Amino acid sequence: MIGRLILPAVATLALLAGGCDVTPDGGPGSTTPAPGGIRGTVILGPTCPGGEPGATDPVLCLTPYAAQLVILDAQNQVAGRVTSGTDGRFEISLPPGSYVITPIGGDPSPIAQPVSVIVRAGEYIEVQINYDTGIR
C-alpha cells in the first residue's frame, strides 16, 4: 500500500525537477542570455553665450536633452531606436556586439557626433551623447 503512494510521488518530483535547469535571470543553466545594452545621458550645450552672468562654471550652460538616437549594428543596419527622456536618460537592450549610436540632429543644430560602443552579454555600457547648440 505504501509503495503505491510513494511511487507516484517520486515520479511527480522527478518531472518537476526535470524542468528546473532554465533560470529567468540568465544564471547558470539558462538558455536565455542576461540582458545587456546601452544606457546613458544626452546633454545639450552650451545653452547660454559665454556662460551665465557671474558664473565661473561652464557646466551651468549644459542641460539634459530629449533626443532621438538610432543604433546601427556592425553591418550598418538599424538595430534599434530610442528617445531620451526630458531628463536626458535613455536605455536600450541589445544583444552582444559592436554598435554605433547615431544621434539625429536638427537643421542646422543642435548636432552630435556618432559614438561607437561594444555591448557585452549581461552588461550595460554607459555613454554620454553631447549635442552642440552652436552658441558661442
Kindly report, residue by residue over 11-65, the tens digit of the pLDDT.
Answer: 433 433 444 333 334 455 656 667 899 999 999 999 888 655 555 565 678 999 9
Q: Once rounded to an integer, what is the mean pLDDT over residues 81-104?
A: 98
Q: Are 47 and 135 in contact (CB under 8 A)?
A: yes
Asked if the model's pLDDT at residue 124 lies above 70, the reply is yes
Closest CA to 127 of 99, 96, 97, 95: 99
Listed by start position, the domains of the chain span: 1-32, 33-132
Distance CA 85, CA 71 (A): 17
- The pTM of this model reads 0.71
CATH superfamily of 33-132: Immunoglobulins (2.60.40.10)
Q: Which residues contact 80 (CB under 8 A, 6 or more apart)?
A: 70, 71, 92, 94
Per-residue pLDDT band for 100 (boundaries 50, 70, 90) equals very high
